[in-house]
Structure 1
Amino acid sequence: MSRLGRLCPSRSVLLLCDLQERFRPHVHAFGPVLSAAARLRKGCQVLGVPVLVTEQRPEALGPTVPELGVQDLTPHPKSSFSGVPVLGAQLSAHPHLSAVLLCGIEAQACVLQTALDLLERGLDVHVAVDACSSRSPMERAVALHRLQASGAFLGTSESLLLGLLRDSAHPRFRQVLELIKEPIPNMELLQGGPWGF
């Protein structure tokens, strides 16, 4: 039977991968990606989904951007492209964990390698395509195809939040609805072909 990738807040975590200051002027559509990631982070907070943050060599690439609103969280610095080596204890702290919602940069490097390691651990990986990018649109496009071919589920920040809610009768539905009703500005990632390249 094929995996359906159903989401449940109590069995999920959100991983914000390397959304750091030094990438800001170099990453394609950084602003819209950041808006989508912030929407996802706020929605997960409303729904009680834990949030994890990684930073790639922060001494060189700077801290996580303040717009994400994760100043109260301790980021996990790393040099490896995958975030899993530095997140092992945090992932193991959730004994019923079945899914990781993943977004960040760069798609062909840290997002891809983190996703592959999570998939190897038997976890469902849900990549928020509107909250992932790279310096090159081509690298992003190829990485998203590779992620899907490897078993990751591709979605948007909105579809992932609705997947966590599952029902408009959910007591937090109105709070999440307010978040997804706010349009993401200038979504350049959705220009072009079927994957938004």
Structure 2
Amino acid sequence: MQEKFRPTIFQFTNIVGNAARVLQACRALSIPPIVTEQYPKGLGPTVPELGASDLKPHAKTKFSMLTEEVQSELKSLGDPKKAILCGIEAQACIACTTFDLLDRGIEVHIVADAVSSRSQTDRLFALSRLKQSGAFLTTTEGLLLQLVQDAKHPNFKEIQKLLAHPSPDTGLVSFFSSL
């Protein structure tokens, strides 16, 4: 979610807003986030509204985020068995990362309303293909509630604050009504 993509990504502002809420929830629940940037020299930095300025992004040129650096970080985190993905573009970086994670036996959860592409067509076909390949599609609100699972969870009030306003429509309703 880099600066140069701002004018070209479908629903960019809403996608970044949803991803920012996911990032806040991960912090509240001690789920370690990893940020990558695609060719930052040419595409610019991660946008400030994501709220990731305290994280060191891993620069990459390949579409998958599973660079050697990221794989080392995953290893240091105990080789997690599940991953949550937000970002752009669905048919490139999200798809390649998903396939790499699935190949490693990692369960992948894609936050569909925090993922986009330059075209809605690429976005929707990518999400369909990723679902067919074994990734789980969810929404920002669905994910946050799944992470706490109970109003008695010690961090529920913090997560509840992130849900005060419903996620904006990011153009997925027509896609899911056809599934």
Q: Same fold (TM over 0.5)?
A: yes
Q: Which moved more, 1:57-66 or 1:157-166?
A: 157-166
Partners of 1:99 and 1:125 within 8 A in 2: yes
Which amino acid in structure 1 is aligned with residue 98 of structure 2?
A
Matched, 1:108 2:88: no
Matched, 1:37 2:32: no
1:99 counterpart residue number: 82
2:47 counterpart residue number: 65
Percent of paired sites with the same residue: 46
Partners of 1:128 and 1:160 within 8 A in 2: yes
After TM superposition, the score normalised by the length of structure 2 is: 0.94
RMSD: 1.4
Separation in 1 of the partners of 2:109 and 2:177? 15
1:79 counterpart residue number: 61
Q: Spell out, residue by residue over 1:50-85, the C-alpha distance to the aligned partner (whole angstroms, 9 max, x if none).
A: 011000000000000000111111000000000002
Q: How many residues align?
A: 177
- Match for 1:138 among 97, 114, 121? 121
Aligned partner of residue 193 in structure 1, secondary structure: helix
Partners of 1:106 and 1:134 within 8 A in 2: yes
Aligned partner of residue 62 in structure 2, secondary structure: coil
Separation in 2 of the partners of 1:88 and 1:24? 28
1:120 counterpart residue number: 103
Partners of 1:54 and 1:75 within 8 A in 2: yes
Matched, 1:46 2:20: no
Query: Which structure has the higher relative contact order (CA within 8 Å, separation 6+)?
Result: 1
- Match for 1:55 among 6, 16, 37? 37
Separation in 2 of the partners of 1:126 and 1:160? 9
After TM superposition, the score normalised by the length of structure 1 is: 0.86
1:7 counterpart residue number: none
| Structure 1 residue runs without a partner (length 5+) | 1-18
- Match for 1:151 among 123, 134, 137? 134
Separation in 1 of the partners of 2:17 and 2:3? 14
